Amino acid sequence: MTPAQIKIKRTESMLKELIPEAISALADARIREVDVVDVKCSRGRSDAKVYLDPHDYTAQEQAAFIKLLEKVRPIIEEHCMKDQGWFRSPRLTFVFDDTLERSRNIEALFAKIAKEKKDES
């Protein structure tokens, strides 16, 4: 692992701790319901994508959460900056993590293929 990759991983790890801390300090109880699953930084660490746990939220609820988080994004970025003493914080982008749903779909496809092969024999 190169030194640049190590710095990126360290920043991601820090943000994964700081963002939930900043969210929990906000006054809006709706936002505090959201859980951070993962954080991925860009190469230059100027941008970071924050993956959120979708729970059983509908698409409308997810859109509402994203809208709320975009409004408080500067507050979260400022919290991260002040806590770590950074000159600037990565620009945060919030998205709901759909990897669990995709893996369920793949598992269902494999089960369907296995069933079809079993029926053919």
Q: Residue 91: pLDDT band by 50, 70, 90 thresholds? A: very high
Beta-bridge partners for 110: none
Query: Which of 24, 22, 54 lies closest to 37 in space, CA to CA?
Result: 54
Q: Please tell me the predicted confidence (pLDDT) of residue 121.
A: 67
Structure tokens at 69: 């988080």
Query: Which of 61, 62, 43 lies closest to 51 in space, CA to CA?
Result: 62
Q: Between 82 and 99, name the one with better pLDDT.
A: 82
Using the 8-state DSSP alphabet, how is residue 100 labeled?
A: H
pLDDT tens for 12-67 read: 999 999 999 999 988 888 888 888 999 999 888 889 999 998 888 888 988 999 99
Q: Are 32 and 66 in contact (CB under 8 A)?
A: no
Mean pLDDT of the chain: 87
C-alpha to C-alpha distances, 97 to 44, 56, 84, 87, nearest whole angstrom: 23, 12, 26, 29
